[in-house]
Chain A
Amino acid sequence: MWQTVGHDWAIDLLNHALRNERLAHAYLFAGLERVGKDTLATEFAAALNCMGQEPPCGECPACRKTLSGAHPDVITIMPQNGKIKIEQIREMQRQMALSPYEGRLRVCLISSMHLATTEAANALLKSLEEPPSRVVLLLTAISIELLPPTLVSRCQVLQLRPVAGDTILHTLRRREGQNQQQAELLSRLAAGRIGWAVAAARDAGLVATYHKQTESLLQLLEHNRGERLRAAEGLSKRENLREILQVWQVWWRDVLLVALNNEVLVTNIDQVETLRTLARCYGIEASANAYKSTGDTLMMLEQNVNPRLALEGLVLHWDTPPLIRNLN
């Protein structure tokens, strides 16, 4: 039984490939962070050597070994210090050439291929094109655009999409025993990243951090320019600046959605009242602009601009709606 949640079409495809013995020699699982691609890839690795009736059975020794990371025929490559290096790929290629010890196939699982150096990615090309027999390569990456096209075109690509909100909700209710309200909130905050939702259900700290980040935006709006500049300077030194901006972006999106009378789509459902107030203050256009400028700032950060300047430019653009003060 597959334990991966969502991605039914991908599981269906892999099942068919297993049953019809039409396995490719390289698969690429692409998808958002924590959307479940590594889970799916590991399960597929187990299925490839599974001895049970319905692979992956999760119970046979091969499955158990693979899932716990102890199977001798499953070679796993993880980024070291945020990079996959050419030495790791070369070492993997050496091991790949040996025939399987106990399983039917040797499986090479490379996690976060997008972190591979150019040299490492290129070194993998030939193995991907014509790997030794009885070897299956499984790659995961957050986006195929971050990989060289020559590499992508040598793999079967399974583009995993955000998991539907209802599926996450259901999983949280059933597997994690969350109450409806909490499950609803988490499923929305997760934005399709089932892994995040499950982690947040087990660790209340994640949601608390999230709330702290929206809180910081509301505080910022109350500040005058001088205070905002000071706050921006502080924020720009934070490691998780990008994450904060993403949270802000979702917040402005919600304000816009409420202004457009589209409350059904709102993410921060626990804050609808505040959102309504802000939507009244800002109106459609200003909230749309704020939504957009936050996105632009995120894009600028990708391009290595000075974070402090980018952030200052962003926060100075927002007006203070005095109603917030009355609200708190």
Chain B
Amino acid sequence: MTTQALYNKWRGQSFADILGQEHITTTLRNQVRMGRVGHAYLFVGLRGTGKTSTARILAKAVNCVGQTDDPPCNKCHICLSLTEGRSTDLIEIDAASNRGIDEIRDLREGVAFLPSECRYKVYVIDEVHMLTKEAFNALLKTLEEPPPRVIFILCTTEVQSLPATVLSRCQRFDFRRGSLDTITQKLQMICDQEGIRITPDALDYIARRATGSYRDAESLLDQLAAFGDQEITLPQIKAMLGSAPTQQIHSLVGAIIGRDLAAGLRTINQMLDQGADPREITTAVIDQLRAVAFLVAGTEDDLSLAQEDIQELREIIRHTPSALRVAVNAIRLFNEAAAGIKGAARPHIPLELAFIETCLGESEPKAREQPAAAIAPAQHTFAAPAPILQVKEEKATPVLETGLHTDIVPPQSVAVSAEKHDTAAAPTAKPGDAIGTVSLELIQQKWSQILVRVRELNPQVRALLSSARPVAVQQNTVVLGCQAVFHRDKLMEAGKRDVVEQVLCETLGQSLTLRCELGQAENTASRPQTSVSEARTPDPREAERQRLRNHPAVQELIKRGGKVTDIRLNDDKEGKD
């Protein structure tokens, strides 16, 4: 009552049927023809690329008694009995269920007997990577020098789990991923033979989804064939697989490029409500973003996309000069989401998060044109979390002016801001500090180089330096801003300080001394004030106000002409000038 699966029914029966693996079939054919067949083969490759089929064909080819130049003939009694699985001389072992040493011992006993009707006795060991270590070792001797007339064919998807001693005893053949063309070809052949009617775009879609595995493609076709005599169409496949309509994917891509949080979330939830699969949405979005990247690069011809799709994407990216950067960032985040969806209890959440993060993550280039942007590239490695902050700085302005709750910035962003503050302050300190040839800018430029050199000399010092950065040059002294007292004190210890000074000297060609300060140390105005107010008023709320006043973002705004008119903690009503 069950029908044979298409992939079993249409298993290749001769070397010519194995598509896309000509590098293997040609070699094997020649070996058979010239009578130079090896005694142990190892077939390696992705699932569904033809390993087991090739193994069976090889077994037939070496034993075929038909009158043909290109065995197997598939007509002689030997070929037929092997195809039907009647022959006792083709032994297929599923190593996954017979993985122990005892099974291998049984196998070794059997090896000693001559083949009953065929020329060769062929052992096909499938999923061979599942054998235990002992089983492998028990097999080694037999594999190296099997009795005459025995051929071993080992098949596996995970060659890295095989011991080297096995690998070196076999002729190894690597099966390639099926190409789109060959998979389509095979599917077309099956459809013709089976009388399955299918539209070309649907066939193409199945082949694409298989990502190189013939069996995946055939399984999917099999599933669709259940619909019987109806013609299989693309929308039907998409409904079955839960793919979202291209139109909605495009509007989501539009929301990503245009950073429209509300619209994007609405689109995502619409798609989900209509029964789309979150992982299908994620892969579709990645594909389209990739297309965006290709479009920007002007190589959209390589994509084999429909013309209207390209038109649509062009429209989306037309007004966004930063489309490429946004797209690349989004691809990365959605890729991570695709991994996160696996087994998630609410699979739409990683998808939504990736989208939100794309929107919040990096801001437009104009936001980058702040003083920080002038700093040398090496500096950016410190300011890794900076993009988040830039959004914050933009927002900080209205918050202050309207006198709203300034304390809603979460604590972790304070740390980020502090870091940022240093880098932002750095260029302003630059002009007066340049002594001789060494300027702060130069040190910052060479900072990554310096770090590499320090690591060579003393990795521990390098680790301490990762939370420090040069903030000023005063005469012959380089001032490093550290984040914590611990780092500052450790760096100032003689042995460690010497290392840094030595490297500074090597890199900059000038002897310099090192001084370490706490991160906000150069902000001299705020320091005494803080300590005084802390000493005088133990009131936590007062301290909190003080903290806000000294908040680097606030300080930065003051520097640019802002003024603190009112700091209001959310739970007090009187306010304070």
Interface residues of A (CB under 8 A from B): 9, 13-14, 16-17, 19-25, 32-33, 90, 93, 104-105, 114, 119, 122-123, 125-126, 129-130, 133-136, 142-143, 145-146, 149-150, 153-157, 159, 161-162, 164-166, 191-192, 246, 249-250, 253, 256-257, 260-262, 265, 281-286, 288-292, 295, 299, 316-319, 321-323, 325-326
A-side contacts of B405, CB under 8 Å:
281, 321
Residue of A nearest to B343 (CB): A143
Interface size class of B (residues with CB under 8 A): 35 or more
The reply to whether A33 and B266 form a contact with Cβ atoms under 8 Å apart is no
CA distance A153 to B46 in the complex (A): 11
**How many contacts A-B (CB < 8 Å)?**
180
The reply to whether A13 and B226 form a contact with Cβ atoms under 8 Å apart is yes
A-side contacts of B345, CB under 8 Å:
32-33, 246
CA distance A154 to B213 in the complex (A): 11
CA distance A317 to B348 in the complex (A): 24
A145 and B342 contact, Cβ closer than 8 Å, known pairs A23-B1, A122-B130, A123-B96? yes
Candidates A20, A22, A130, A164; contact of B273 at CB < 8 Å: A164
The reply to whether A164 and B227 form a contact with Cβ atoms under 8 Å apart is no
The reply to whether B262 and A261 form a contact with Cβ atoms under 8 Å apart is yes
The reply to whether B261 and A292 form a contact with Cβ atoms under 8 Å apart is no
B-side contacts of A130, CB under 8 Å:
8
B278 to chain A, nearest CB (A): 8
Residue B5 lies at the interface, judged by CB distance under 8 Å to chain A: yes
A-B contact pairs, 12 of them (CB 8 A): A13-B240, A20-B226, A24-B3, A32-B346, A93-B97, A126-B126, A146-B343, A161-B277, A249-B349, A260-B261, A290-B410, A322-B570
Candidates B47, B157, B240, B407; contact of A319 at CB < 8 Å: B407
A25 and B2 contact, Cβ closer than 8 Å, known pairs A282-B408, A321-B570? yes
Which one of B352-360, B368-376, B423-431, B453-461 is at the interface? Answer: B352-360
B-side contacts of A134, CB under 8 Å:
1-2
CA distance A257 to B268 in the complex (A): 13
Residue B177 lies at the interface, judged by CB distance under 8 Å to chain A: no
The reply to whether A153 and B410 form a contact with Cβ atoms under 8 Å apart is no
A153 and B395 contact, Cβ closer than 8 Å, known pairs A9-B240, A33-B345, A292-B353? no
Candidates A93, A104, A265, A325; contact of B265 at CB < 8 Å: A265
CA distance A104 to B255 in the complex (A): 54
A-side binding surface: helix, strand, loop or mixed?
Answer: helix
A129 to chain B, nearest CB (A): 8
Candidates A19, A125, A253; contact of B228 at CB < 8 Å: A19
Candidates A22, A24, A285, A325; contact of B360 at CB < 8 Å: A285
CA distance A14 to B219 in the complex (A): 15
Residue B139 lies at the interface, judged by CB distance under 8 Å to chain A: no
The reply to whether A136 and B96 form a contact with Cβ atoms under 8 Å apart is no
Q: Which 3 A-B pairs have the closest CB atoms?
A: A122-B96, A322-B571, A145-B342
CA distance A32 to B269 in the complex (A): 17
CA distance A290 to B269 in the complex (A): 20
CA distance A256 to B356 in the complex (A): 10
Residue of A nearest to B239 (CB): A9
Candidates A21, A265, A284; contact of B1 at CB < 8 Å: A21
A-side contacts of B274, CB under 8 Å:
164
The reply to whether A321 and B216 form a contact with Cβ atoms under 8 Å apart is no
Interface residues of B (CB under 8 A from A): 1-3, 5, 8, 47-48, 94, 96-97, 99, 126-127, 130, 157, 213, 215-216, 219, 222-223, 225-228, 239-242, 261-262, 265-266, 269, 272-277, 340, 342-343, 345-350, 352-353, 356-357, 360, 391-392, 395, 405, 407-412, 569-571
A319 and B571 contact, Cβ closer than 8 Å, known pairs A16-B228, A17-B226, A265-B265? no
CA distance A316 to B352 in the complex (A): 24
Candidates A129, A246, A285, A316; contact of B392 at CB < 8 Å: A285
B-side contacts of A281, CB under 8 Å:
405, 408, 570
A82 to chain B, nearest CB (A): 15
Residue of B nearest to A142 (CB): B343
The reply to whether B2 and A136 form a contact with Cβ atoms under 8 Å apart is yes
CA distance A318 to B411 in the complex (A): 8
A49 to chain B, nearest CB (A): 10
Residue of B nearest to A10 (CB): B240
Candidates A13, A19, A260; contact of B262 at CB < 8 Å: A260
The reply to whether A325 and B5 form a contact with Cβ atoms under 8 Å apart is no
B17 to chain A, nearest CB (A): 18
A286 and B349 contact, Cβ closer than 8 Å, known pairs A150-B47, A261-B262? no
Residue of A nearest to B2 (CB): A23
CA distance A33 to B347 in the complex (A): 11
B-side contacts of A149, CB under 8 Å:
47, 157
A-side contacts of B357, CB under 8 Å:
288, 292
A-side contacts of B265, CB under 8 Å:
257, 260, 262, 265
Candidates B126, B222, B353; contact of A291 at CB < 8 Å: B353
CA distance A249 to B356 in the complex (A): 14
The reply to whether B242 and A161 form a contact with Cβ atoms under 8 Å apart is yes
B-side contacts of A191, CB under 8 Å:
346, 348
B56 to chain A, nearest CB (A): 12
CA distance A149 to B215 in the complex (A): 11
Given contacts A20-B228, A166-B273, A299-B340, 16 further A-B pairs with CB under 8 A are A21-B3, A23-B3, A24-B226, A119-B99, A156-B223, A157-B223, A162-B347, A165-B273, A246-B346, A260-B262, A261-B262, A283-B408, A285-B391, A285-B395, A318-B410, A319-B408
B-side contacts of A135, CB under 8 Å:
2
A196 to chain B, nearest CB (A): 10
The reply to whether A292 and B356 form a contact with Cβ atoms under 8 Å apart is yes
The reply to whether B408 and A164 form a contact with Cβ atoms under 8 Å apart is no
A-side contacts of B240, CB under 8 Å:
9, 13
CA distance A33 to B343 in the complex (A): 9
A-side contacts of B353, CB under 8 Å:
291-292, 295
Residue of A nearest to B340 (CB): A299
CA distance A261 to B262 in the complex (A): 8
The reply to whether B408 and A321 form a contact with Cβ atoms under 8 Å apart is yes
Candidates B5, B127, B392, B395; contact of A125 at CB < 8 Å: B127
The reply to whether B96 and A105 form a contact with Cβ atoms under 8 Å apart is no
The reply to whether B127 and A122 form a contact with Cβ atoms under 8 Å apart is yes
A59 to chain B, nearest CB (A): 22
The reply to whether B261 and A284 form a contact with Cβ atoms under 8 Å apart is yes
B-side contacts of A133, CB under 8 Å:
2
B240 to chain A, nearest CB (A): 5
Residue of A nearest to B352 (CB): A253
Residue of A nearest to B392 (CB): A285
The reply to whether A126 and B96 form a contact with Cβ atoms under 8 Å apart is yes
CA distance A90 to B223 in the complex (A): 28
CA distance A146 to B112 in the complex (A): 41
The reply to whether B97 and A123 form a contact with Cβ atoms under 8 Å apart is yes
B-side contacts of A143, CB under 8 Å:
342-343
